[in-house]
Amino acid sequence: MSLRDLCWLTQEIEEAKLYHQRRIFSLYAGQSSDEIIAIAGRMFGHYHGLAGTNDIDMLREPDLWLDDVLSDMAEYASESADRVTFIPILVRNDT
């Protein structure tokens, strides 16, 4: 499995993402809901601390950085299938 083909992003994860996005769009459209919207994102990227693994400089070694970030994302991707808490998969660069 190549991490770059993103096959680790399953249909279940995609459905959960769309479900949560619809709920958020409805909230901002002024529609009421009986459910609480909870968001708990995990950050992946350069110097992201305890959430990930990499400390590769993305400007000096972009391919290594991307491979490391995608490997980290793939490891935790199943968490994003949660239908109670929205856990979007995000890349962040704090440099």
pLDDT tens for each residue of 17-39: 999 999 999 999 999 888 888 88
Which residue stretches of the chain have pLDDT < 70? 1-3, 45-54, 92-95
Interacting residues of 64 by C-beta distance below 8 A, sequence separation 6+? 56
pLDDT of residue 69: 83
